[in-house]
């Protein structure tokens, strides 16, 4: 819709009363749209999203390839690291298959993956003066920010590791060379910050309006340790420690050493921000388990680094003929053994490390849900919202399915879950500080709730509840709800006396259109207080018959305006401020800088500084004897 209106998405109107896009960035959604456009719209967006998840899952291979190539290592390291990443699912906060695919936390894993790619590219620019990766590094940093701003913490740590590497290990580096590296990193950082400005500036401006509730954390060092072991397995933990030690003994591999230093710094950062530390909670809008995916990816690379060193050492000691072929074959077998073993084909694997099956949307139950939403949309009174309650008892991932509802309707939606509210005044039967779902969803069927949120139809099924009764049974016995249709396990009800999203006292509007960035209301004759059941935010500006009127915030976080007698039209616009325009201009400048970097790397014009010739692969087991950085 925002693309049709010719502007980027800034306010998401269809979810729980609406929220600013920068509070829950939509970088992955834009990737979905980009892939959909690349495929010329030949696939539905729900299928494109599956491709996006698959792409994110295998994308760490690109970062591993960039790092291995930068140190002139065998690319089998990238293969081995990728197989470990694929084989070990982790838990739902660990960044592996389980978090990305099973739980669908795509933004957190996607941000960490992009941060790893950005860190790898930065390291190549810094250590190798590989200018061809300057523009990709800037783009990856900006993409990581738009996907999950917290991923910038990982990039900052990785950048500091680069600087520390150059300071502590200045092997065969002149002052001029180091200055060139610093200038390059500064230029990349500047360009990426400009590119991400349209996201970062609003986040800073409105940070006091974002109430972040912590549901997860590391209460003790033991909890952090156990999460780390679950993320990668105990053998990989020990191998990553071995790889970390090796990076300080093998002089040639500056990029691997930077990753090792970054891992140490990142472990310290996570520990320092955890609940047990004196500085715990220093970053208010951060749950420390969300840092684990980046840590996991670094540990896996260092573990692969150690395995390859061991294999190459053994091959070298045996003086095998065709050593490179033997080494490659041994690494390939190791990778296959990791995958086969973790998938339970070779030996018994603890349940926590078993890759779980994932339900597909291509099944009758999901089709029934979509049909139920279509039915609710068909009977929806104009200017009202749809309420979705309950979950199929045969599924543990019902709450993911709920959010596909907007595929079938442009109406606003409310849900009994997905209440990670950015403000704490939402009128509903729950306490945001203790949970993100209604413990007694049946209470949302009461008339005061339906009226408060302008709900016109309800889609409900059975669910296990913490308190109260089953919402489907409660809906069936409620005389104010009229059953219109049953689709599989879902019942579709029409609210008997619905209240529109916008009202002037008891007067309903003659026309009402709710879009992402605007609300347009028509009245026959309005006066006095007009209530708008959409979340308030400072950007909203209102006009009554073309004249400005003040927008006030209600006690439940919605909006009210006072209009003069005889008002016939009321319009709300989600404005673009001067700061937004400045950020957009800055993003344009950042894009020009990235284009300049790309042109430079192509040879049309060049930064000043020494260039390096590509050097051949040197086995890890021999690299420590060379005594110099390439």
Instruction: Give the integer Cα–Cα distance in Å for 19 and 7.
Output: 17
Among the ranges given (48-52, 155-159, 248-252, 537-541), the one the predictor scored with the smallest mean pLDDT? 248-252
User: Which stretch of DSSP H or E encloses residue 332?
Assistant: helix 323-342
Instruction: Give the integer Cα–Cα distance in Å for 565 and 549.
Output: 13
- Mean residue pLDDT of the chain comes to 88
3-state SS of 157-178 is: HHHHHHHHHHHHCCCCCCHHHH
Query: What pLDDT band is residue 270 in, cutting at 50, 70 and 90?
Result: very high
Query: What pLDDT band is residue 604 in, cutting at 50, 70 and 90?
Result: very low
pLDDT of residue 628: 37
> Contact, 258 vs 158, CB < 8 A?
yes
Instruction: Give the integer Cα–Cα distance in Å for 153 and 26.
Output: 19
Give Cβ neighbours of residue 123 (< 8 Å, ≥ 6 apart): 67, 70, 158, 162, 254, 255, 258, 259
Q: Is the dihedral of CA 39, 10, 559, 437 positive or negative?
A: positive
pLDDT of residue 372: 96
Would the pLDDT of 626 be above 50? no
Tokens representing residue 47 in the block: 């299928």
> Contact, 386 vs 15, CB < 8 A?
no
How many other C-beta atoms can be found within 10 angstroms of the C-beta atom of residue 425?
Answer: 15
Would the pLDDT of 173 be above 60? no
- Going by the DSSP 8-state scheme, the letter that residue 507 receives in this structure is B
How many other C-beta atoms can be found within 10 angstroms of the C-beta atom of residue 45?
Answer: 16
Instruction: Give the integer Cα–Cα distance in Å for 578 and 275.
Output: 39
Would the pLDDT of 615 be above 60? no
Would the pLDDT of 612 be above 60? no
Burial of 3 (0-12, 13-18, 19+ CB in 10 A): exposed
Instruction: Give the integer Cα–Cα distance in Å for 481 and 475.
Output: 7
Instruction: Give the integer Cα–Cα distance in Å for 472 and 474.
Output: 5
Give Cβ neighbours of residue 183 (< 8 Å, ≥ 6 apart): 607
Burial of 372 (0-12, 13-18, 19+ CB in 10 A): buried
Tell me if residue 361 falls in helix, strand or coil.
coil
Average pLDDT score over residue span 256-263: 96
Would the pLDDT of 537 be above 50? yes
Looking from the CA of 134 toward its CB, the CA atoms found within 13 Å total 33
pTM for the whole structure: 0.90
Query: What pLDDT band is residue 359 in, cutting at 50, 70 and 90?
Result: confident
Tell me if residue 70 falls in helix, strand or coil.
helix
Among the ranges given (32-36, 190-194, 296-300, 318-322), the one the predictor scored with the smallest mean pLDDT? 318-322
> What does the longest C-alpha to C-alpha distance in the chain come to?
95
How many other C-beta atoms can be found within 10 angstroms of the C-beta atom of residue 392?
Answer: 19
Tokens representing residue 165 in the block: 């590497």
> Contact, 430 vs 438, CB < 8 A?
yes
Would the pLDDT of 291 be above 80? yes
- Strands (E) across 385-480 are located at 385-389, 413-415, 455-460
Query: What pLDDT band is residue 607 in, cutting at 50, 70 and 90?
Result: very low
Region of residue 390 (left: phi > 0; alpha: psi -120 to 50; beta: else): left
> Contact, 611 vs 128, CB < 8 A?
no
Would the pLDDT of 149 be above 80? yes
> Contact, 182 vs 122, CB < 8 A?
no
Greater model confidence, 229 or 324: 229
Angle at 164 between CA 163 and CA 168, to 5 degrees: 125
Which residue do the tokens 């070298």 mark? 316
Instruction: Give the integer Cα–Cα distance in Å for 376 and 374.
Output: 5
pLDDT of residue 573: 97
Kindly state the percentage of the chain with pLDDT values over 70.
Answer: 89
Region of residue 151 (left: phi > 0; alpha: psi -120 to 50; beta: else): alpha
Burial of 365 (0-12, 13-18, 19+ CB in 10 A): middle
Instruction: Give the integer Cα–Cα distance in Å for 95 and 303.
Output: 17
Tokens representing residue 20 in the block: 């600013």
Would the pLDDT of 319 be above 60? yes
Kindly state the percentage of the chain with pLDDT values over 90.
Answer: 60
Tokens representing residue 160 in the block: 């500091």
Average pLDDT score over residue span 524-552: 96
C-alpha pair distances (Å), 411 with each of 148, 385, 408, 536, 610: 27, 6, 9, 18, 59
Instruction: Give the integer Cα–Cα distance in Å for 124 and 131.
Output: 8
pLDDT of residue 176: 63
Summarised one tens digit per residue, pLDDT across range 360-371 is: 777 888 899 999
Would the pLDDT of 623 be above 90? no
Instruction: Give the integer Cα–Cα distance in Å for 198 and 21.
Output: 11
Strands 540-544, 551-553: parallel, antiparallel or unpaired by DSSP?
A: unpaired
Q: How much of the chain is in helix, strand and coil states, percent to nearest 5?
A: 50, 15, 35
Summarised one tens digit per residue, pLDDT across range 367-419 is: 999 999 999 999 999 999 999 998 765 556 666 788 889 999 999 999 988 77
User: Which stretch of DSSP H or E encloses residue 593?
Assistant: helix 578-602
Summarised one tens digit per residue, pLDDT across range 564-602 is: 999 999 999 999 999 999 999 999 999 999 999 998 877
């Amino acid at each position: 819709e925002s693309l049709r209106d010719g502007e980027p998405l800034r306010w998401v109107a269809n979810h729980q009363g609406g929220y600013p896009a920068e509070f829950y960035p939509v970088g992955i959604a834009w990737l979905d749209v980009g892939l959909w456009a690349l495929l010329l719209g030949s696939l539905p967006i729900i299928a494109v999203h599956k491709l996006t998840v698959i792409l994110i899952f295998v994308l760490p291979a690109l970062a591993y390839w960039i790092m291995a190539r930068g140190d002139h290592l065998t690319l089998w390291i990238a293969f081995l690291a990728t197989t470990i990443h694929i084989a070990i699912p982790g838990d739902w906060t660990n960044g592996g298959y389980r978090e990305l695919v099973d739980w669908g936390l795509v933004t957190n894993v996607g941000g960490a993956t992009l941060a790893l790619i950005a860190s790898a590219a930065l390291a190549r620019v810094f250590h190798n003066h590989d200018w061809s990766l300057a523009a990709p590094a800037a783009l990856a940093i900006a993409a990581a920010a738009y996907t999950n701003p917290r991923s910038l913490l990982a990039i900052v740590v990785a950048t500091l590791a680069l600087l520390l590497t150059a300071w502590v290990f200045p092997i065969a580096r002149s002052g001029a060379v180091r200055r060139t590296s610093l200038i390059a990193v500064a230029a990349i950082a500047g360009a990426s910050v400009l590119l991400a400005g349209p996201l970062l500036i609003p986040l800073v401006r409105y940070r006091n309006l974002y109430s972040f509730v912590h549901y997860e954390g590391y209460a003790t060092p033991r909890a952090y340790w156990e999460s780390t072991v679950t993320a990668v397995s105990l053998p990989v933990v020990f191998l990553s420690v071995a790889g970390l030690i090796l990076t300080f003994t093998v002089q040639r591999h500056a990029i691997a050493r930077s990753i090792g230093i970054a891992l140490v710094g990142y472990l310290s950062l996570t520990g320092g921000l955890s609940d047990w530390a004196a500085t715990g909670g220093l970053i208010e809008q951060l749950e420390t388990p969300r840092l684990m995916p980046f840590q996991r990816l670094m540990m896996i690379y260092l573990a692969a680094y150690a395995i390859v060193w061991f294999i190459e050492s053994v091959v070298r000691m045996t003086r095998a003929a065709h050593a490179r072929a033997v080494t490659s074959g041994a690494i390939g077998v190791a990778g296959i053994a990791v995958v086969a073993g973790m998938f339970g084909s070779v030996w018994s694997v603890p349940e926590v490390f078993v890759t779980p099956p994932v339900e597909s949307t291509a099944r009758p139950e999901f089709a029934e849900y979509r049909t139920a939403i279509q039915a609710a949309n068909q009977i929806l009174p104009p200017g009202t919202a749809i309420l979705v309650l309950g979950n199929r008892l045969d599924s543990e991932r019902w709450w993911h399915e709920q959010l596909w509802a907007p595929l079938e309707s442009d109406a606003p939606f409310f849900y009994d879950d997905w209440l990670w509210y950015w403000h704490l005044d939402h009128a509903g039967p729950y306490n945001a500080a203790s949970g993100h779902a209604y413990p007694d969803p049946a209470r949302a069927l009461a008339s005061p709730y339906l009226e408060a949120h302008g709900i016109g139809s309800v889609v409900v099924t059975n669910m296990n509840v913490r308190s109260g009764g089953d919402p489907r049974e409660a809906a069936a016995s409620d005389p104010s709800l009229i059953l219109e249709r049953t689709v599989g396990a879902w019942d579709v009800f029409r609210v008997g006396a619905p209240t529109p999203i916008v009202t002037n006292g008891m007067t309903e509007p003659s026309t009402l259109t709710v879009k992402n960035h605007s609300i347009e209301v028509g009245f026959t004759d309005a006066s006095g207080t007009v209530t708008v059941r959409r979340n308030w935010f400072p950007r909203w500006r209102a006009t009554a018959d073309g004249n400005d009127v003040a927008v006030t915030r209600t006690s439940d976080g919605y909006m009210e305006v006072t209009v003069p007698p005889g008002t016939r039209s009321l319009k709300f616009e989600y404005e673009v401020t001067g700061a937004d325009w400045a950020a957009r201009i800055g993003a344009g400048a950042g894009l020009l800088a990235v284009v300049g970097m790309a042109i430079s790397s192509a040879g049309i014009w060049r930064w000043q500084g020494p260039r390096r010739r590509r050097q051949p692969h040197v086995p890890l087991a021999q690299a420590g004897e060379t005594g110099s950085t390439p």
